[in-house]
Amino acid sequence: MRAIGIARRPSSGFGGSRKWRGSREKSSTSSAEDWDAALDLLDQLEKEPLDDDLQQLLQVKRMRLFVLQNAGRGEEAAQLQAEIVEQAWDSPMLLNEIAWGIAMGDGVRDLDLALKAAQRASELQEHGDPSTLDTLARIYYEKGELDQAIEWQKKAVEQSQGDPSLQATLKKYEDEKASPPGAAAPPPEGGPAGVEQ
């Protein structure tokens, strides 16, 4: 199995055939061209045989998702997210990662797809992984379902044997529920336990 990777240039997107000019400021046209060059490179990678390795194929698709999201191509990114969830249906770690990415993303988010992915990940792990339970709680929070968010966050805390960051998130959810309407607490920060931001 060979490694697939694309090196990122500082402040300019992905590498390609054009040389870095040393300028940290590039026009939006130039940035769009950088993203297009990255997508062209990913097209080439997808045409190469990947030894029927689903993980390698998913890695290329995740790179494409990163490029589409950063290039501001939300509709294409959303379609690709659904495709990745379908192909990763038996991979709890990848499903959790995709679900968290959707929940924490900017712009239009398909929280129903995130919930579907996180629920499947949790089922595959017999509801025993604190990180996945934290993701489920966050998705419910983002959907405005605070009672469900608290229920799943409690499970995450229990499974983690009291992880302080998960406890802090639970406290924020509970505090928000206890606060009067219109005085909502700010959303909790950070990511699922064990996932670096």
- The reply to whether 125 and 170 lie within a common domain is yes
Q: Does some domain include residue 137? A: yes
- The reply to whether 53 and 95 lie within a common domain is no
End of a domain among 61, 87, 113?
A: 87
Judged against a pLDDT cut of 50, whether residue 8 lies above it is answered with no
- The reply to whether 105 and 139 lie within a common domain is yes
Would you give the DSSP letter of residue 17? S
Q: What distance, in Å, lies between the first and last C-alpha atoms of the chain? A: 27
Question: pLDDT at position 193, please?
Answer: 53
**Token output for 93:** 């770690």
CA distance 109 to 69: 11
- The reply to whether 95 and 156 lie within a common domain is yes
Task: Residue 152: give its domain's CATH number.
Answer: 1.25.40.10
User: By mean pLDDT, which of 43-47, 59-63, 99-103, 175-179 is the weakest?
Assistant: 43-47
With H, G, I as helix, E, B as strand and everything else as coil, classify residue 168.
Answer: helix
Looking at the structure of the chain, the number of domains it has is 2
Residues in the chain: 197
Judged against a pLDDT cut of 70, whether residue 10 lies above it is answered with no
Judged against a pLDDT cut of 50, whether residue 165 lies above it is answered with yes
The position carrying tokens 């190469």 is 48
Q: What is the pTM of this model?
A: 0.71
Read off the pLDDT of each residue in 133-142 and give the average, rounded to a whole number. Answer: 98
